[in-house]
Structure 1
Amino acid sequence: MPQLMPEPWFMTFLLTWSILLTIIPMQILALTFPYEPNLQTEHDSATQTWNWQWL
């Protein structure tokens, strides 16, 4: 059974995971968000009351 012989695929497996574990986290950490979250003021957070006309 070829999957029981680690010589052909084990180095490919290790190389692939080493690339994934070193390059991908650096790319994720390099992402920047275009907009910083702003705190809402009290004036903006005031909600309008609903007009329940059918009651």
Structure 2
Amino acid sequence: MPQLNPSPWFLILIFSWLVFLTVIPPKVLSHSLLNDPNPSDSPSYQAEAWSWPWS
């Protein structure tokens, strides 16, 4: 049963994680956001007290 031999599969696992952790994150983090997540001209809302008819 050759699939029980961990030698080649362990190296594949290590190299794939090495690629995932070194190559992919800088590529993903280099993208810029299209929309500003904190718009400065957003209106502020005031909460009003509710008038319950049974209270």
TM-score grouping bracket, smaller chain normalisation: 0.5 to 0.7
Percent identity reads 25
Displaced runs of 4+ in structure 1, greater than 2 A? Answer: 1-6, 43-46
TM-score (norm 1): 0.54
Gapped runs of 5+ residues in structure 1? 47-55
1:30-49 mapped onto 2 (5 Å cutoff): 30-36=30-36, 37-40=38-41, 45=45
Indicate the structure with greater helix content. Answer: 1
Q: Which ranges of structure 2 fall in alignment gaps of 5 or more residues?
A: 47-55
With the length of structure 2 as denominator, give the TM-score of the two structures.
0.54
Structure 2 partner of 1:11: 11
Deviations for 1:11-53, whole angstroms, at most 9, x for unmatched residues? 1111101000011211221111012232135x6757xxxxxxx
